[in-house]
Chains A and B, each alone.
Chain A
């Protein structure tokens, strides 16, 4: 699935807010988090997504 995000948005922030892995929403992330925390969270989201994709792939093969 391809998700097209408008270029005017700061995707890393929205990526964390829409991931479902963190309890904070967009407003809280923008007002309380630092950019460094957002970057850390993006790395975590990437790792989880890759693990999930791998699990789905293995399940399909099995």
Chain B
């Protein structure tokens, strides 16, 4: 199993270390952000369309969150990203954001919260978008003998 590559970014003086969401969690977030009732991704092309839409939504999340996402959806997205994020507060250990730690951590720091959500979205959907937007390579595998 490949190790998931984490990315880090400093937001509001705190360094956040984020790994991509798992497939199941990413699909759930995409459905929530895109308001899709079911993961109707019949093939990679449909996934490409959905990822492009999700990427756009995440890119404009700061404005989109307030107008497009209801409170429950926003909380659900935050909880999903909290599962894959730890904060480096400069101590010996990092602070996991899961188990609702993110709520206390971002108290009074709403703008930092939005920036954190956008960053988490970039970590998961950025590489996905890059792959989906890349031209599909021609099959390089030679026909099997026999």
Contact = CB atoms under 8 A, between A and B. Distances in A.
| A and B part of one assembly | yes
Contact residues on B (Cβ < 8 Å of other chain), bracket: 35 or more
A24 B44 CA distance: 20
Contacts of B131: 36, 39-40
Contacts of A59: 146
A6 B139 CA distance: 27
Given A34-B128, A36-B131, A51 B142 contact: yes
Given A10-B39, A32-B1, A34-B124, A55 B144 contact: yes
B131 to A, nearest CB: 5
Interface in B98-146: 124-125, 127-128, 130-132, 136-137, 139-146
B139 A51 contact: yes
B22 A34 contact: yes
Contacts of A11: 41-43
Given A40-B131, A50-B139, A35 B40 contact: no
Interface of B: 1-2, 4, 20-24, 26-27, 38-44, 47, 51, 124-125, 127-128, 130-132, 136-137, 139-146
Interface of A: 5, 7-13, 24, 28-40, 42-43, 46-48, 50-52, 54-55, 58-59
